[in-house]
Chains A and B, each alone.
Chain A
C-alpha cells in the first residue's frame, strides 16, 4: 500500500467497505433480480407515451407535414428543436466516457456506462426527427451517395443537412461500438454468474466470448483509448455540424460564427444535466449510493456550472456582437428575442440556462441531491427553449416584414416530442434491467486507489510511517 501515492486531498469514489465481490454483486443485482411494481408502472407510462408518439409520427407521415404547426415562414420548429435537443443530450455520454478518459478522470467510471447508454438512446430519438420531418421520408435514402440509375445522380456535399447525416450516423455507430466494447467484460461477468440457461445463452452471445486474459485486457485498453481519442473530435464535430444547419444560413440570428463552440457547450451542458437527472434516480432505485456518490454529483454539477457559464458568455457575446455589428436586421433579431412575441421563451431560456447553473457556485447547493436534481431538470427545459428560441424567433421575423408570422405547435408536434421522451425512457428502463449499468470492470480498477476502505488503510499506514 505504501508504495502507491495518492493525494490525501482526493475524496473516495467508492464508499462503504467494498470488496471486488461486493462490486460484482451490487452491480449484478438489478439485472439478476426481478422488476418491481414501480418499474412496471414507469415502464408502462413510457410505453404509452412512446406509442402515442408513434401514432403521431405515422399520422404525420401518412397525412402530411401540414398536421404540424409549421407554416411557409417557419419551416423548422419543434422538429429541429427536438432534434438538436436530443443530439445535445447525447453528447454528455461520449464526453464522459471519452474526454474524461483522456483526462484520466477516475470519477467517470461509475457513470460512463449509463451516460453512454443515454447517448445512444437519445441519438436514436434525435435520428427520428430528420426522417419524420421530411416531406417524403420514403425517399430519405436519396441522401446517401449511392450509385443509381438516374445517371448516378449524386448528392450535393455542400449542405450541412447532408453533413448531419454523416455526423449523426457516425456518431451513433462509434458510440455504439465504444459502449459495447466497454460492456464485454461486464457481460462476461453476468454470463459467468447466470444460473438460468436462457440468460446464460444471451449473455454468452453478447459478451463475445470474453475471457479476460492479459492480452485481451491490454488490447481492450488500447482500443478504449483509441476510441476515446476518436470520439472526442467526433463529439465536438457532430454538434458543430448540427450548429452549421443554422450558422451557415443567411438568416439574421442564425448566421453567426459563435454557434459551433456555443452549441457544443450547450450540448455538454444539457447532456450533463440529463445524466445528473437519470443518475440521481438510478443511484436511489438501484442502491448505487456507494458508487455514484455525492462526489460524483458535485463534479457533474461543476461541469454544468462551467458549461452553463460558457453558454451564458455566448449569449452575452451574441448580444454584444449584434449591437456592435450595426446590422439593423441582426439588432432587430435580438430585440425581437428579448421583447417580441416570444420574449417569454427567451427569458425562460435565460433564466434556466444562465441564472440557474450559477447557484452551483454555492457548495451547499451543488452537494444537495434534491437541488441538483431540480436544477438539472430546469437546465434541460432551458436548453430546449434555447433551441426553440434560436430557430423560431429567427425565422418568424426576418428580412421582409410582409413575411412575418407566428408559430404555434399542434398536438402532433407535441405528441411526437412526448413520444420520443417515452421511447427514450422505454429504452433506458429496459437497459437498466438488463445491462450492467455501472462498468464494474472499471470500478474495480479504481477500487484500491479510490475506494474508501483502502484510502483509510493508506491514511493509517502513512501516518504510521510518519510516526516512525
Chain B
C-alpha cells in the first residue's frame, strides 16, 4: 500500500514536470548562451533597418561580381527582340549539351511542370485539377518559341505567369530553355 502511494506520487510529480512543455510554444531552454545570434541572420527582423527587414535591397544600378544585367526590357517589343536575336550561350559548349539538357529537365520538373505539364503539353497537375485553365501547349504550331524567348519569359514572366528569375539563376534558365526546346520538338513532331 505504501509503495503504491509512493509510485503514484512519483509518477504524478514526473507527469507534472513533463506537462510543463506546451506544444504550441517553443520549449523551455536551459541556459541559452549562444542560441540567439549576435550577428544579423539573413531573414531576421531587426529594428536597425527602416522596414525591420535584415534583407535590404542593393543600390539600383550596382553590379556584383560574376553577374550580368539582362538588357532586354520587359515589354512586347523586348520579348520580340529576345525571340529574334538572343542566343543560348550553352549551345557554344556542344560537349555538354546532353548534361545541360538533363539539368534543364530536372529544373523544368520542379518549377514548370506543375502548370505546363511534364511533356510541355499545357496539362500540368494544377490544370488537370482545374485550379486554373489557359496554359498553352508548346506543341501549338502558331506559337513562335525560341530559346531566347523562353529565357526572356522565365526572366520576366508573361501574362498569368510570374517571373522565375529569383528561383533559378542565369545558367539554369538557359538549361530550362534547352529542355523546353527539346519538349517542343517532340510535341511538334
Task: Check B4 for interface membership: any CB of A closer than 8 A.
Answer: no
Q: In the assembly, what is the distance between CA of A139 and CA of B31, in Å?
A: 9
Q: In the assembly, what is the distance between CA of A278 and CA of B31, in Å?
A: 42
Task: Check B33 for interface membership: any CB of A closer than 8 A.
Answer: yes
Per-residue CB contact flags for chain B residues 5-34 toward chain A (1 = under 8 Å, else 0) read: 000000000000000000000000011010
Report A-chain residues with C-beta under 8 Å of the C-beta of B33: 136
Shortest C-beta distance, B153 to chain A (Å), equals: 48
Shortest C-beta distance, B21 to chain A (Å), equals: 14
- Scan residues 90-141 of chain B and give those whose CB is less than 8 A from a CB of chain A: none
Report A-chain residues with C-beta under 8 Å of the C-beta of B30: 138
User: Considering only CB atoms, which chain B residue lies closest to A136 in the complex?
Assistant: B33
Q: In the assembly, what is the distance between CA of A139 and CA of B33, in Å?
A: 11
Shortest C-beta distance, B30 to chain A (Å), equals: 8
Report B-chain residues with C-beta under 8 Å of the C-beta of A139: 31
Q: In the assembly, what is the distance between CA of A72 and CA of B33, in Å?
A: 22
Per-residue CB contact flags for chain A residues 321-352 toward chain B (1 = under 8 Å, else 0) read: 00000000000000000000000000000000
Q: In the assembly, what is the distance between CA of A138 and CA of B29, in Å?
A: 13
Report B-chain residues with C-beta under 8 Å of the C-beta of A138: 30-31
Q: In the assembly, what is the distance between CA of A138 and CA of B30, in Å?
A: 9
Q: In the assembly, what is the distance between CA of A139 and CA of B32, in Å?
A: 11
Q: In the assembly, what is the distance between CA of A138 and CA of B31, in Å?
A: 8
Per-residue CB contact flags for chain A residues 122-159 toward chain B (1 = under 8 Å, else 0) read: 00000000000000101100000000000000000000
User: Considering only CB atoms, which chain A residue lies closest to B31 in the complex?
Assistant: A138
Shortest C-beta distance, A230 to chain B (Å), equals: 34
Q: In the assembly, what is the distance between CA of A136 and CA of B32, in Å?
A: 12
Dominant secondary structure at the B interface: loop
- Scan residues 158-179 of chain A and give those whose CB is less than 8 A from a CB of chain B: none
Report A-chain residues with C-beta under 8 Å of the C-beta of B31: 136, 138-139
User: Considering only CB atoms, which chain A residue lies closest to B30 in the complex?
Assistant: A138
Report B-chain residues with C-beta under 8 Å of the C-beta of A136: 31, 33
User: Considering only CB atoms, which chain B residue lies closest to A139 in the complex?
Assistant: B31
Shortest C-beta distance, A143 to chain B (Å), equals: 16
Shortest C-beta distance, B35 to chain A (Å), equals: 13
Q: In the assembly, what is the distance between CA of A416 and CA of B9, in Å?
A: 41
Shortest C-beta distance, A44 to chain B (Å), equals: 36
Q: In the assembly, what is the distance between CA of A365 and CA of B167, in Å?
A: 91
Shortest C-beta distance, A65 to chain B (Å), equals: 14
Q: In the assembly, what is the distance between CA of A115 and CA of B31, in Å?
A: 40
Q: In the assembly, what is the distance between CA of A220 and CA of B38, in Å?
A: 61
Shortest C-beta distance, B33 to chain A (Å), equals: 7
Q: In the assembly, what is the distance between CA of A136 and CA of B30, in Å?
A: 12
Q: In the assembly, what is the distance between CA of A139 and CA of B34, in Å?
A: 13
Shortest C-beta distance, A123 to chain B (Å), equals: 27
Q: In the assembly, what is the distance between CA of A138 and CA of B33, in Å?
A: 11
User: Considering only CB atoms, which chain A residue lies closest to B33 in the complex?
Assistant: A136
Per-residue CB contact flags for chain B residues 26-48 toward chain A (1 = under 8 Å, else 0) read: 00001101000000000000000
Shortest C-beta distance, A134 to chain B (Å), equals: 13
Shortest C-beta distance, B135 to chain A (Å), equals: 48
Shortest C-beta distance, B162 to chain A (Å), equals: 43
Shortest C-beta distance, A63 to chain B (Å), equals: 15
Shortest C-beta distance, A64 to chain B (Å), equals: 12
Shortest C-beta distance, A277 to chain B (Å), equals: 41
Q: In the assembly, what is the distance between CA of A139 and CA of B30, in Å?
A: 10
Shortest C-beta distance, B142 to chain A (Å), equals: 61
- Scan residues 76-95 of chain A and give those whose CB is less than 8 A from a CB of chain B: none
Shortest C-beta distance, A144 to chain B (Å), equals: 15
Q: In the assembly, what is the distance between CA of A138 and CA of B32, in Å?
A: 11
Shortest C-beta distance, A62 to chain B (Å), equals: 13
Shortest C-beta distance, B125 to chain A (Å), equals: 40
Q: In the assembly, what is the distance between CA of A136 and CA of B33, in Å?
A: 9
Shortest C-beta distance, A436 to chain B (Å), equals: 35
Q: In the assembly, what is the distance between CA of A217 and CA of B163, in Å?
A: 92
Shortest C-beta distance, A318 to chain B (Å), equals: 41
Per-residue CB contact flags for chain B residues 136-168 toward chain A (1 = under 8 Å, else 0) read: 000000000000000000000000000000000
Q: In the assembly, what is the distance between CA of A179 and CA of B136, in Å?
A: 92
Q: In the assembly, what is the distance between CA of A10 and CA of B8, in Å?
A: 64
Q: In the assembly, what is the distance between CA of A136 and CA of B31, in Å?
A: 10
- Scan residues 19-65 of chain A and give those whose CB is less than 8 A from a CB of chain B: none
Shortest C-beta distance, A136 to chain B (Å), equals: 7
- Scan residues 173-219 of chain A and give those whose CB is less than 8 A from a CB of chain B: none
Q: In the assembly, what is the distance between CA of A14 and CA of B65, in Å?
A: 94
Shortest C-beta distance, A84 to chain B (Å), equals: 29
Shortest C-beta distance, A153 to chain B (Å), equals: 15
Shortest C-beta distance, B15 to chain A (Å), equals: 21
Shortest C-beta distance, A293 to chain B (Å), equals: 53
Task: List 5 A-B residue pairs with CB atoms under 8 Å apart, sorted by A's residue number.
Answer: A136-B31, A136-B33, A138-B30, A138-B31, A139-B31
Closest 5 pairs between A and B when the two form their complex, measured CB to CB: A138-B31, A136-B33, A139-B31, A136-B31, A138-B30
Interface, chain B (partner A; CB < 8 A): 30-31, 33
